[in-house]
Amino acid sequence: MSFDLLDLIPSLGALALALAVPLLGDRTSTAQRSAYGVAVAAAAFAHLHWRIGETLIPEGPGEIRLWPFVVFAVELAGLFTGLVFIMMMARAPRRVGPETRPSAEIGTPWVDIVIPTYDEPRDVVDKAIIAALAQDHPKVRVHVLDDGDRDWLRDLCAELGATHHVRSDRRHAKAGNLNAALPKLHGEFVAIMDADFAAARNFVSRTLPLFADPEVGIVQTPQVFYNSDVVQLNLGLARHWVDEQRFFFGEIMPARARWDAAFSCGSCSMNRRAALDAVGGFPTESITEDMLTSLRMRRAGYRTVYLNENLALGLSADGAQGHFLQRERWARGNIQILFLKDDLIGNPRLGPLQRLFFTPLHWLTAPLVTVTAVLVPVLHFLFGLSPLNGGTVEGTLSRTLPFLILQQGYMIWISNGTHLPVVSAAIRIFQSFRLLPGVIASVIRPFGAPFRVTPKGSASTGAADLLTAGILAGLWTATAIGLALEAVPRADRSDFSAAAVLWAVLLLPALTVALLIAIPRRHLRMSERFTIDLDLTAETSAGIGTVRVEDMSTGGAALLVPPAAPIRRRAGESAALILPDGTRLEGRLIRRGDRLALHWGELPPLAHRRLVEFLFSGRFSSVPLQVRDEAALYGTILRTLWN
């Protein structure tokens, strides 16, 4: 149990490197990204050398227990996945490359924007249709694919000017809906915009130039969200923390693109019609038809490229039910592709590294590694199970701890402000106990599960996920009790006890935050607010003046009125805000003082349409895309815990 202070030297060196790199390093340098990755890999191999040499087989006579080998196997799988990730992230993403430059070679072809729908509510679908119709490209047709056969959606399409499609055979869910519409589409390009995504005005005009390269079959753009996801909402972090998918779309996909391993994510993508025809439309063998489409097109000689520009805004899953449903579908769909050997393992147009990057290692290992990591100290505290057959605390401090420090430092640096240790670990814990059974079921029986639509918007539910909350509460309690028991001196304490205490101390904050994520919070607003920060004209019975619009939603706006402006400030006063195109948004003031709120409720159809076009033009945002103030973030979490 004793150790020498010299054993801390590797950990202190790792900590110094982890602190220095964000200050001195250049994450846009491939050489520096690779060098830091090599350092993490070296620390991982030093940890493995210690694990294999000292902790699996006891030095003296004794019983060799199974649990250490189980933990080591899980650890080995996680380390392999991590090393593949480091390799993938080694190349710095291009800031501006030839694929992002406008090109006149493509001309002005016809583009069909398709919006597949099933049971989404009107307040979600109307934004997608209005934004699609407002494209600055001159040749756009909008098609709404209605698998719910709803009269109100048919009427809405007629009112707005979109084409409404209904099919009688609803097999194969979204992919089947898209395939049923293809014979009725005649454009050279097909854009897919899910019913909960609103395209920016320049979505078509920015993606089309990339098709000047005849090998490009799909252009994928990031999926950016204008509402708080379940993590941001339940932790009260809408102003401080990024959505859970920002690391993927902001950092991982650009890195994949450097290896020519980008793939379609369905919504917010543009597809070459000839490429779709070459592969027989959208494949139905996997419930993640988007990634499979990219792989099928690769076999046919087409590539998927990634344009890292935010060209659409959508809804994220803001309830635990939708969050888990969505990720379970992604996990199952990716695992299904692993069993389609001609598309992945046997795809002749994938190189060895590309084939490795398309293998669903993350889905196969991440839930298992996280669950095991949480259970190790609990099982030790309660049942005396140790993950080591030998080894000492000195090895943990000089081999394992340096690796963990470097690995977390690397993730913080490479993520560009979209990964923080406690919050990111909490998200993995929150997800993993629900995902792991689905992953195991998908490996055993990959096919047969139906496609299920993620509930969002007014269709979403904020009900508590009692199963997840119960599991996390039990684990938190067991970990805390175990720490308390370890504080009591006793003679039979094992060599692993000190490491278990250290691991539990590091784990308990993440478990606490994960439990907070599982406890739903009430929505404070009926509609999401966009940061505007523009001077617009306002009018009351007292006169017309300029006001500063701080934020705006489809239901109202927050105004900062200069003292000299001839605008009444009384609550209940009728007022109108005038958009740059002259649209009047009429309502009532509902606050006093210099800071007023104008609430306009239900607007006339034309005014509502112009408001949606304005908000979803691509000029404004509603949630952060990068963590700016870590102190404020953790302070907010503490306040959420206190309240």
Q: Does 208 lie in the same domain as 293?
A: yes
Residues 499 and 576 in one domain: no
Question: How far is it, in rounded angstroms, from Cα 513 to Cα 430?
Answer: 9
Q: Establish if 66 belongs to a structural domain.
A: yes
Local confidence band at 96 (pLDDT 50, 70, 90 cut-offs): very low
Residue span of the structural domain in which 24 resides: 5-92+363-419+464-518
Residue 330 lies in a domain: no
Residue 258: CATH number of its domain: 3.90.550.10
Look at the pTM and tell me if it is higher than 0.85: yes
DSSP state of 621: B
- Please check the confidence at residue 59 and state whether its pLDDT lies above 70: no
What was the pLDDT predicted at 572?
80
Distance CA 341, CA 338 (A): 7
C-alpha closest to that of 310 among 541, 543, 630, 621: 621
268 and 374 in a common domain: no
The total of structural domains in the chain comes to: 3
C-beta separation of 175 from 282 below 8 A? yes
- Domain assignment of residue 353, yes or no: no
Please report which confidence band the pLDDT of residue 593 belongs to, taking 50, 70 and 90 as the band edges. Answer: low
- Within 10 angstroms of residue 523's Cβ, the number of other Cβ atoms is 14
Do residues 17 and 134 share a domain? Answer: no
Q: Do 118 and 255 sit in the same domain of this protein?
A: yes
Query: Given 271, 294, 313, which residue is the final one in a domain?
Result: 313
Q: 219 lies in a domain?
A: yes
Do residues 16 and 70 share a domain?
yes
Do 209 and 255 reside in the same domain of the chain? yes
How high is the mean pLDDT of the chain? 90
Bridge partners of 585, per DSSP, are 577
100 vs 474, which has greater pLDDT?
474
* DSSP letters for 154-203: HHHHHHHTPEEE--S--TTHHHHHHHHHGGG--SSEEEE--TTEEE-TTH
- Summarize pLDDT for 183-204 with one digit per residue, the tens: 999 999 999 999 999 999 999 9
pLDDT for residue 498 is more than 50: yes
Question: pLDDT (tens digit, 9 = 90+) per residue, 151-189?
Answer: 999 999 999 999 999 998 889 999 999 999 999 999 999
Q: Are residues 149 and 48 in the same domain?
A: no
Which residues, including other chains, have CB under 8 Å from residue 291's CB and lie 6 or more apart?
Answer: 263, 264, 265, 333, 334, 337, 358
Residues 267 and 395 in one domain: no
pLDDT tens digits, residue range 514-573? 999 998 877 655 678 899 999 999 998 888 989 999 999 999 999 888 877 777 667 788
- pLDDT over 90 (residue 594): no
The kind and range of the H/E element at 334 are helix 320-338
Residue 544 sits in a domain whose CATH number is 2.40.10.220
**Chain center to CA of 274:** 30
| Residues 153, 275 within the same domain | yes
pLDDT band at residue 1 using 50, 70 and 90 as cut-offs: very low
Q: Which of 473, 498, 518 is the last residue of a domain?
A: 518
Whether 216 shows a pLDDT value over 90: the answer reads: yes
Q: Is residue 415 part of a domain?
A: yes
Q: Using an 8 Å Cβ cutoff, are 305 and 259 in contact?
A: no
CA atoms within 13 A on the CB side of 66: 0
Asked whether residue 155 falls in the same domain as residue 18, the answer is no
My answer on whether 479 and 604 are in the same domain is no
**Is the pLDDT confidence value at 460 over 70?**
no
Instruction: Tell me if 447 is assigned to some domain.
Output: no
Q: Are 173 and 211 in contact (CB under 8 A)?
A: no
Report if residue 181 sits inside a domain. yes
Q: When comparing pLDDT for 99 and 493, which is higher?
A: 493
Note whether residue 431 is domain-resident: no
